[in-house]
Amino acid sequence: MYIRASVNAGTRWNNIPGTAHFVEHMIIAGSKKFPSKNLLVEEIEKVGGEISASTNFDTISVNAQVAEKNDLSIAIDILNEMLRNSLFDPSVIENERGAILSELRSKKSNPNRYVFDLFSSLVFQNTYMKYPTLGNEESNRQIDISAIKNFYSDYFSPERITYIACGDIEIDKLENSLENSIKFNTSIRNSLPPIPETIRERRIDVEYFENKETHFKFGFRADTLLLKEKVALFIIGDLLAVGRASILATELRYKRGLVYTVYGSTQFFSGVGSLSISTSCSEEKTQQTIDIICEELDKIYKNGINEESLNFSKRKILKSKFIEMQTASSWVNVNDQYLNNLAVEKSNIIDLMNIVENITSQEVNQIFRKYIKPGSSYLAVCGKNSADSLNLKH
């Protein structure tokens, strides 16, 4: 059994960058029934289960996993304690602050990880979404127990929680168990946050790293609430850079040996999103690698994606999803990518697979030209390159 409570309380509601992430740390740091993190964890680990939590732009998610449905009551009790009865103990806050600052330093010292934050800050530059999930060292030092409690009281309520679960239990029984066990005293309106405008003062950001390898993320902002557009962008990312048979793996690795790996991905939140390509290469080959990516995008923009390539990608996506959803936690993760309690279209993985099967090349090409337009790309780089030495041809 795997249950996720996804609370509509992500980083886009921060007053101080990093607050939502700090709240995530504090809600699993001890509760009324289990006054310390150790006691909270021991309660579920004694039956072989585990808890975890994460934060993104839209949500704070807390997860509880147990091996058997006989232990479901323990998982729900733990979720209730984390969601409703966290202590927010002032004596614990400095320990968590230290852990978060260590987490920040760890990410900042790893160019392969840091480039993701750099790309997100670039794509959402000059908007409230420019700050990474963790915030920064300065903002985390400003967050006090009052800011944490205020954030919690402003955004944690049943209207703002979506439960996603997988396991050996009927959904009606699970729904009743959750409703009867996790009861809030507050009611907070669940509303769509404002979608940040596009303010493109720069297209390239570089963070200097003393490495032989340059890591970069190249991509586009793709703001949509429509599942069909998300699916089309997902297919485009797959065609471009997912798997050894993808266009860019062929061009960059197998034909030229410029990179070891290349990966395409899409990321969607409430009304905003992006499509990106991530890879690394030597400093002196960076511009050549970027030029080849731009050339392949230009070809598709002018000539379109043909039926044979589209059908190949569709078959691969449909089959791979079955492989991807072999465990309860992976099923929840896959559905969580497309299930948003604020979305215009309520959706799940079945809806996605139906669209993948039926979408046409005309529709995919139309959406490609809408979002992957020349002049709208961004490039985030971690390495020795300077911004002035790089340019974008698409």
Rounded CA Rg of the chain: 22
Second-level CATH architecture of 204-389: 2-Layer Sandwich (3.30)
Q: What is the pLDDT of residue 344?
A: 45
d(C-alpha 384, C-alpha 284), whole Å? 10
Same fold for the pair 2-181 and 204-389:
yes
Secondary structure of 351-371 in HEC code, one letter for each residue: HHHHHHHHCCHHHHHHHHHHH
Q: Domain residues of the chain, as ranges?
A: 2-181, 204-389
Q: Residue holding tokens 């006691």?
A: 39
- Residues with Cβ within 8 Å of 308's Cβ and at least 6 positions away in sequence, in order, are none
Q: What is the pLDDT of residue 186?
A: 77
Tokens representing residue 206 in the block: 């570089």
DSSP assignment letter at 250: I
d(C-alpha 29, C-alpha 90), whole Å? 11
Tally the C-alpha atoms within 13 A of residue 105's C-alpha that lie toward its C-beta: 6
Question: Which residue numbers in the chain have pLDDT < 70?
Answer: 192, 338-346
CA 27 to chain centroid, in Å, comes to 20
Q: What is the pLDDT of residue 350?
A: 85
Residue 52 β-bridge partners: 63
**How many residues comprise the chain?**
394
CA 374 to chain centroid, in Å, comes to 26
- CA neighbor of 333 nearest in space, from 126, 83, 61: 61
End-to-end CA distance of the chain: 46
Q: What is the pLDDT of residue 29?
A: 95
d(C-alpha 186, C-alpha 200), whole Å? 40
Q: What is the pLDDT of residue 351?
A: 86
- CA neighbor of 164 nearest in space, from 270, 77, 49, 62: 62
The CA-CA-CA angle for residues 22, 25, 30, to 5°, reads 130
d(C-alpha 242, C-alpha 349), whole Å? 19
Query: Do residues 381 and 390 make contact, with C-beta atoms less than 8 angstroms apart?
Result: yes
Q: What is the pLDDT of residue 128?
A: 87
Residue 160 Cα distances to 87, 223, 345, angstroms: 21, 22, 17
CATH of region 2-181, choose from 3.40.50.360, 3.30.70.260, 3.30.565.10, 3.30.830.10? 3.30.830.10
The pairing of strands 204-208 and 377-383 is parallel
Query: Do residues 78 and 51 make contact, with C-beta atoms less than 8 angstroms apart?
Result: yes
DSSP assignment letter at 86: B
pTM, two decimal places: 0.93
Q: What is the pLDDT of residue 323?
A: 87
d(C-alpha 8, C-alpha 294), whole Å? 36
Residue 37 Cα distances to 70, 164, 388, angstroms: 24, 24, 48
- Residues with Cβ within 8 Å of 320's Cβ and at least 6 positions away in sequence, in order, are none
d(C-alpha 173, C-alpha 389), whole Å? 60
Q: What is the pLDDT of residue 346?
A: 63
